[in-house]
């Protein structure tokens, strides 16, 4: 299930209501119960999607999600945001965003890919049964990400070399091109932004080595706390270990590895919006990406490493995850 952190969702809703009193009132009326401090830390995207679409319809502005660019701020990302703010370069910021993306939301994996022409930040949806992401949501996430990079390097208009958007080409693309430039691929298999090596090497204006050490330590501590508290994060770790060891991955086996009963694990995952089989698929996706892009293992070896008995099943999974087979996916990573 897709979720967003409460603070990140709040920033998007604030952006949607900017300069439009009617939309702002809608976001307050429907959003405030979701963003209440007494509510969950992560909010289901399904509960936000209708609000996004109503805001777009009420405003008459199909580009409304792009407004999130002007609401980008490290504080929207909690402890991760402070670590980003004190990071040395834009490249280190992108790397940290990919590494800690689960602190921003769930239901997707965020990867960094080194390309000849630049560095690609790519998001892959992990739940194939999830309805397609709305344009408003995709625009808001991409715009707020780009806005954050620009916030970190004031005076420099960072623009991607290429934007890849999974929704169809709209009738009017002027606002999108004004934000991302002319090189935009619509109907893409994944949503991604490709940045130049020059932009990736830019120094973050608020970088401070001493503060970065403190922020990174706090982030690691927060991560360890989440790892010990969150059923899904603990289960992911065990699932990945079992795959690497060639052990069968079952609900009973993972529960035993965590010192829990099957019922406790199932209920715990359900409370966090996860199903066991979908979690297994997410770990397979993440590990397959890493092995295809950063190892020389054969496809048969990788298939075995991520729990597939037959390479044909692995090939089909890659088509579903990445929109292409493993051979092409590996080749594209080295091009």
pLDDT in tens, 72-125: 999 888 888 888 999 999 999 999 998 888 778 877 788 888 888 999 999 887
Backbone angles phi, psi at 109, to 5 degrees: -120, 140
Q: Where are the alpha helices (DSSP H) in the chain?
A: 6-16, 21-35, 45-59, 79-85, 90-99, 135-152, 174-180, 197-200, 209-229, 231-244, 251-257, 262-271, 276-294, 299-305, 311-322, 326-334
Give the separation between CA 148 and CA 185, rounded to whole angstroms.
Answer: 22
Question: Where exactly are the structural domains of the chain?
Answer: 3-200, 230-334
Greater model confidence, 241 or 335: 241
Burial class (CB in 10 A: 0-12, 13-18, 19+), 174: exposed
**The domain over range 230-334 is classified in CATH as 3.40.30.10:** no
Amino acid 206: pLDDT: 92
Amino acid 240: pLDDT: 87
pLDDT of 129 > 70? The answer is: no
Give the separation between CA 260 and CA 266, rounded to whole angstroms.
Answer: 10
pLDDT of 64 > 60? The answer is: yes
Tell which residue, 118, 97, 85, has the closest CA to residue 203. 85
Whether the CB-CB separation of 159 and 180 falls below 8 Å is answered with yes
**The domain over range 3-200 is classified in CATH as 3.30.1380:** no
154-171: b or e for each residue (b if 16 or more CB lie within 10 Å)? eeeebbbbbbbbbbeeee
Collapsing DSSP states into helix, strand and coil, what is residue 163? strand
Q: What is the mean pLDDT of residues 263-272?
A: 85
What residues contact 182, with CB distance under 8 A and at least 6 apart? Answer: none
Percent of the chain with pLDDT over 90: 41
What residues contact 304, with CB distance under 8 A and at least 6 apart? Answer: 246
Greater model confidence, 9 or 36: 9
Amino acid 169: pLDDT: 96
pLDDT bracket for residue 183 (50, 70, 90): very high
For residue 83, give Cα distances in angstroms to 13, 91, 289.
24, 13, 26
């Amino acid at each position: 299930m897709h979720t967003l952190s409460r603070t990140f969702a709040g920033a998007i809703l604030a952006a949607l209501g900017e300069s439009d009193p009617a939309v702002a009132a809608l976001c307050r009326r429907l959003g405030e119960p979701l963003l209440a401090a007494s509510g969950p830390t992560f909010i289901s995207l399904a509960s936000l999607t209708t609000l996004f679409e109503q805001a777009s319809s009420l405003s008459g502005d199909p580009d409304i999600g792009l407004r999130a660019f002007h609401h980008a701020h490290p504080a929207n990302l909690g402890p991760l945001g402070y670590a980003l703010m004190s990071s040395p370069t834009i490249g280190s910021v992108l790397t940290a965003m990919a590494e800690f993306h689960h602190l921003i939301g769930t239901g997707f994996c965020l990867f960094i890919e080194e390309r000849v022409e630049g560095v690609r930040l790519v998001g892959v949806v992990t739940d194939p049964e999830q309805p397609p992401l709305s344009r408003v949501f995709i625009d808001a996430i991409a715009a707020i990400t780009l806005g954050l990079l620009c916030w970190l390097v004031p005076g420099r208009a960072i623009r991607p070399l290429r934007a890849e958007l999974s929704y169809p080409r709209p009738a009017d693309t002027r606002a999108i091109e004004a934000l991302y430039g002319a090189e935009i691929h619509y109907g893409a298999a994944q949503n991604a932004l490709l940045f130049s090596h020059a932009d990736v090497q830019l120094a973050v204006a608020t970088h401070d080595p001493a503060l970065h050490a403190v922020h990174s330590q706090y982030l690691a501590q927060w991560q360890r706390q989440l790892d010990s508290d969150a059923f899904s994060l603990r289960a992911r770790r065990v699932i990945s270990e079992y795959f690497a060891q060639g052990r069968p991955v079952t609900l009973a086996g993972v529960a035993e590895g965590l010192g829990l009963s099957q019922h406790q694990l199932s209920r715990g995952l359900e409370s966090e919006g996860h199903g066991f089989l979908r979690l297994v698929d997410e770990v397979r996706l993440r590990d397959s990406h890493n092995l295809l892009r950063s190892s020389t293992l054969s496809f048969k070896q990788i298939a075995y490493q991520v729990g597939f008995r037959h390479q044909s099943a692995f090939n089909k999974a890659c088509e579903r995850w990445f929109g292409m087979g493993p051979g092409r996916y590996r080749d594209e990573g080295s091009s």
